[in-house]
Amino acid sequence: MTDKQALANRIRAASREMVRELGFMDSTLASTSHSASAVHTLMEVGAQGALTSAQLVGFLGLDKSSVSRMVAKLVASGELAEESAAGDARAKQLSLTRKGHRTVEKIHAFAQTQVQDALKHLNPSQQQAVAQGLAAYAGGLKAHRLGRADAPASEVLVRTGYQPGLVGRVAEMHALFYAAHSGFGQFFESKVAAGMAEFAGRLGEPCNRVWTANLSGRIVGSLAIDGQDLGDNKAHLRWFILDDGCRGSGVGRQLMADAMTFCDIRGFAETHLWTFKGLDAARKLYESFGFELVWEQEGCNWGSRVTEQQFVRPLGSR
C-alpha cells in the first residue's frame, strides 16, 4: 500500500466515524423531525434569505426531482413558503416561515452545543487544525464534484512580529517535517525551540524580523531574518517552514519575497541560510531569489546522517 492510499484510508475511516457521530445515519437530524438534506435546505435558505429550487440544486448537489420532493414536504409542513420570483412567474422563491425560523434557530443551537462539546476534548492547536483541515478538505471535495483542477485557496494572511504561540508552532512544524524527512528527534526540536525563543526576545531590534503565514487564526508558515547572528552586515535567514497543507500554494514564495525585500531595504551585503540536501522544492525557491550553494558537508550533528548546505544571496539579487 502506498503512502497516498494509506492516507486516503485514514481520511475515509475518519469520515465514516464523523457521519455516525454527527447523526447522519439516523432518519432525522439535529433533534428535528427532518432528514439531513431537509435540515441542510432550511439552513441554506435561512443563510441566503431566499432561494429558488434551481439554486438549491446547485447548493446541495442533488438532482432536481429530489429537491422538488423535499421542498414540497417542507412547504406542506409549514417550514418554507414559496412565491413567484420577481420578473419570472414560473420560478418559485423559497423563504423561511416563522416556524422555519424557529426550527433553524433550534438547529443552530443543537449544532453549536455539539461542536463546542467536541472541541472541549481538543487542545487549542488541535482545534485550529480541525477548522483549517475541514475547510480545506470540504473545498477539495467540492472542486472534485464540480470538475475543477484545484480547490479554491483559503485566504492566508501574512503577518510580521511576535504573536502568541509563535515559538511553539515554529518548533512543532520543524519537528514534524524533519522527523518524517530526516529522522530528527528531540534534540533537533529542542534546538529549534531554544533558538526561536532567544530570537523572539530580540524582535525589538530593527534589523530582526519574523513573518508568519496565518490561516483561520493558526500559524501555518514562518520565516525569520536575524540581522545580528552573523554580524559583518550579513543577514541570517532562519526558521523557514510551512505546514504540510500549505506547500505548493505560493505561501512560501510570498514569505520569501517579503523577507528579501526587507533585506534589500536594510542593505544587508549578503543573506545566508543553512539547510539540508534533498529539499529540492525549497532549493528551487531559494535559487529563484538569487541564492547560490557555496558549501555542503555530510555529518550527524542533528541525530541522523544528513548533508548540510549553505546558500548565500548578495544584496539585490533576484
pLDDT at 239: 98
pLDDT at 152 exceeding the cut of 70: no
Higher per-residue confidence, 103 vs 128 = 103
pLDDT at 29 exceeding the cut of 90: no
Lowest mean pLDDT among 16-20, 90-94, 281-285: 90-94
Confidence of residue 149 (pLDDT cuts 50, 70, 90): low
- Summary mean pLDDT of the chain: 87
Over residues 148-173, the mean pLDDT reads: 84
pLDDT at 86: 64
pLDDT at 305: 87
pLDDT at 88: 60
How do beta strands 234-242 and 270-276 pair? parallel
Asked if residues 313 and 257 have their Cβ atoms less than 8 Å apart, the reply is: no
Most confident among 65-69, 124-128, 196-200 (mean pLDDT): 196-200
Over residues 12-38, the mean pLDDT reads: 87
Q: What's the CA gap between 238 and 115, in Å, rounded?
A: 38
- DSSP states of 231-285: -TTEEEEEEEEE-GGGTTTTHHHHHHHHHHHHHHHHT-SEEEEEEETT-HHHHHH
Asked if residues 291 and 240 have their Cβ atoms less than 8 Å apart, the reply is: no
Confidence of residue 151 (pLDDT cuts 50, 70, 90): low
Confidence of residue 258 (pLDDT cuts 50, 70, 90): very high
pLDDT digits (tens, 9 = 90+) for 38-89: 888 888 888 887 777 877 877 777 888 888 888 888 888 989 888 876 656 5
Q: Note the Cα 116 to chain centre separation in Å.
A: 20
Quote the pTM value.
Answer: 0.61
pLDDT at 248 exceeding the cut of 80: no
pLDDT at 221: 95
Pick from 48, 103, 18, 135: nearest CA to 58: 48
